[in-house]
Amino acid sequence: MKKSISNKIKLGIFISLGVLVFIFGIYFVGERQQLFRGTFRISGIFRDVAGLQVGSNVRFSGIDVGTVNNISIVSDTSVRVDVLIEESTRIFIKKDALASIGSEGLMGNKILIINPGTGGKREIENNDIVGTVQPINMDDIMLSLKKTIDNSSNITSNLSSITGNIQSGKGTIGRLLMDHSLAQNFDSSIVNLKQGLFGLKNLMDDTKISFANNFDSTFVNLKEGSEGFKLLMKKAKSSWLLWGF
Amino acid sequence: MENINLKPSSNDDPGDVIIPEIFEDKITHSVINNFFVEVTSLTIFTLRFFKELFKPPYEFNELMKQSFLIGYRSLPLVAITGFIIGLVLTIQSRPTLAKFGAESWLPAMVAVSIIREIVPVITALIFAGKVGSGIGAEIASLNVTEQIDAMQVSCTNPFKYLVVTRVLSATFMLPVLVVFADIIGLLGSFVGVNIKGNVSPYLFFSQIFQTLEFIDMFPAFIKTFFFGFAIGIIGCYKGYTSFKGTEGVGKAANSSVVFGSLMVFIIDMIAVQITSFFQN
């Protein structure tokens, strides 16, 4: 009889503990989904939710503050996303807050990111609709990447053709780099130029000497001329023919 | 008179036992017939269980005793299994996650695997091995020694006393055992994570509860009731319908484990289909 009671007590503890553990599990999971906290609801309209799911986290300043509550298609170009956010964060989220879709790391789940908005605005209210930033579609990135790759391919192909032409001596640069006669001509031009400059120098030297000599004799003649003219003027002054002037 | 062909064909292995074609047909028919007979008998047995379940008098004392034996007594075995599952799964998963630099995902990944699938199924299989065989052998031995007949004579409903109590105990004790195995499995995983790393218990459990959702917990929990019911009802059925003789006891215990384990997998497959239907 005693043993039977002891067994019943053990069984009672066993079942109670099991149920308690299960309830704790539910509580902790529910806590994460804001089932036991005050929340408010806001919504955003997206063109494409990029794989966001009901239950995905809502992040504000890097902290998980809520979860996506509902996703519904409004029209062929718009999807409405309803989120539940902790009441305590409401004071930080303003009327002009923006919602965007991001991801947790490179391979992580999609999350909804709330940008708080400007400080001067009023705080957001329950059931408000916030502005959204359309997510960058992976397909668009791939399309753009494909264009870039095509362009790169064309550029490398052109470069290859240009280097081929240069190597075979075609075109101005090719001839400049690959034609040996041009270099020889250039050499002989330099030699000629050098010789020409040397001749010019000699000519200039000769010219300078003769010019200096001529200049000296010109000055001597001029001096002699002016002395003669002075004498002539003196004689003229003393002549009776020019009296009265 | 039918002409029976006893001559082996040229493709037959000389070591094979030659079975005449006419007997082959009969054996095939007999296996199929036996299968359907068994299904029908089990269905009738299950319907009788539900009929007896709600009809007074209720055997509360026997129900408590069986719950103690089936549930409480199975806890050490289930706990050890759960701990080892958590530990081994963590150690085995670490190198693969480390290749992607995603070791921080280890607690979350192991927790989802443990709670969703591995612990419920492994615990159910252990339960089928321990409890299913026990129920099958016990009832079969009562059958063999004609104690069931004696019960009927002494105005005790043997079905209510033996079957209803055991099936109910199995149905309600397995989920409790699975909850314990989940927690102990997570503790094993925590030890596994800390063998090569250094993660605080708070961070470990915080990461787990950040990842877990109700869709991970409830279907896994609900299906364990079905596992327990299937193991209990098959054990009781095999014991209750065992043929007389000691051979019948062994066969009842054996087939209780085999069919109980098979039913666990079948129920699990159906549960996964239903869960994924609701998830999508």
**CA distance, residue B245 to nearest chain A CA (Å):** 33
* Sequence-distant (≥ 6) Cβ neighbours of residue A56 within 8 angstroms: A67, A68, A109, A110, A111, A112
Q: How far apart are CA B130 and CA B127, in angstroms?
A: 5
Q: How far apart are CA B244 and CA A191, in angstroms?
A: 126
Residue B14 has pLDDT above 50, yes or no: no
Give yes or no for B41 touching A (CB within 8 A). no
Residues A16, A89, single domain; the answer is no
Q: Work out the average pLDDT over B259-269.
A: 94
- For residue A39, the cross-strand partners are A86
**Counting one residue from A and one from B, how many pairs have CB atoms under 8 Å apart?**
60
Q: How far apart are CA A175 and CA A179, in angstroms?
A: 5
pTM: 0.67
Tens digits of residue pLDDT in B25-67:
666 677 788 888 888 999 999 999 999 998 888 888 899 999 9
Q: Work out the average pLDDT over B111-131.
A: 94
Tokens coding B8? 């082996």
- What pLDDT score does A4 carry? 78
**CA distance, residue B211 to nearest chain A CA (Å):** 9
Contacts of A17 in chain B (CB under 8 A): 180
Residue A200 has pLDDT above 60, yes or no: yes
Give yes or no for A71 touching B (CB within 8 A). no
- What pLDDT score does B2 carry? 43
Nearest 5°: the CA angle B261, B264, B270 is 150
Q: Do B65 and A7 touch (CB under 8 A)?
A: yes
Q: Work out the average pLDDT over B151-166.
A: 89
Nearest Cα residue to A60 out of A85, A35, A32, A31: A85
Q: Do B217 and A25 touch (CB under 8 A)?
A: yes
Residues A42, A20, single domain; the answer is no
Q: How far apart are CA A27 and CA A33, in angstroms?
A: 10
- Work out the number of other CB atoms within 10 angstroms of the CB of residue A124: 24
Q: Kindly state whether residue A213 falls inside one of the protein's structural domains.
A: no
- Average confidence score pLDDT of chain B: 86
Domain ranges of chain B: 61-279
ipTM over 0.90: no
Q: What is the DSSP letter of B117?
A: I
- What pLDDT score does B280 carry? 64
Q: How far apart are CA B229 and CA B260, in angstroms?
A: 10
Nearest Cα residue to B248 out of B32, B134, B240, B36: B240
Contacts of B179 in chain A (CB under 8 A): 18-19, 21-22, 25
Q: Kindly state whether residue A146 falls inside one of the protein's structural domains.
A: no
Contacts of B210 in chain A (CB under 8 A): 32, 64
Q: Do A21 and B183 touch (CB under 8 A)?
A: yes
Residues A3, A47, single domain; the answer is no
Q: Does B159 or B2 have the greater pLDDT score?
A: B159
Query: Which of A90, A115, A136 is at the close of a domain?
Result: A136
Q: What is the identity of the amino acid at B262?
A: L
Residues A65, A131, single domain; the answer is yes
Q: Kindly state whether residue A61 falls inside one of the protein's structural domains.
A: yes
Name the closest residue on chain B to residue A55, using Cα atoms: B213
Tens digits of residue pLDDT in A140-173:
788 888 899 999 999 999 999 888 888 887 887 8
- Average confidence score pLDDT of chain A: 85
How many separate domains does chain A show?
A: 2
Contacts of A19 in chain B (CB under 8 A): 176, 179
Q: How far apart are CA B59 and CA B159, in angstroms?
A: 11
The range of the structural domain enclosing residue A18 comes to 1-32
Q: Do B176 and A33 touch (CB under 8 A)?
A: no
Q: Kindly state whether residue A209 falls inside one of the protein's structural domains.
A: no
Q: Kindly state whether residue A173 falls inside one of the protein's structural domains.
A: no
Nearest Cα residue to B70 out of B114, B133, B122: B133
Q: What is the DSSP letter of B155?
A: T
Residues A13, A95, single domain; the answer is no
Tokens 């149905």 correspond to B171
Report the DSSP pairing between strands A57-60 and A98-103: unpaired
Q: What is the DSSP letter of B5?
A: -
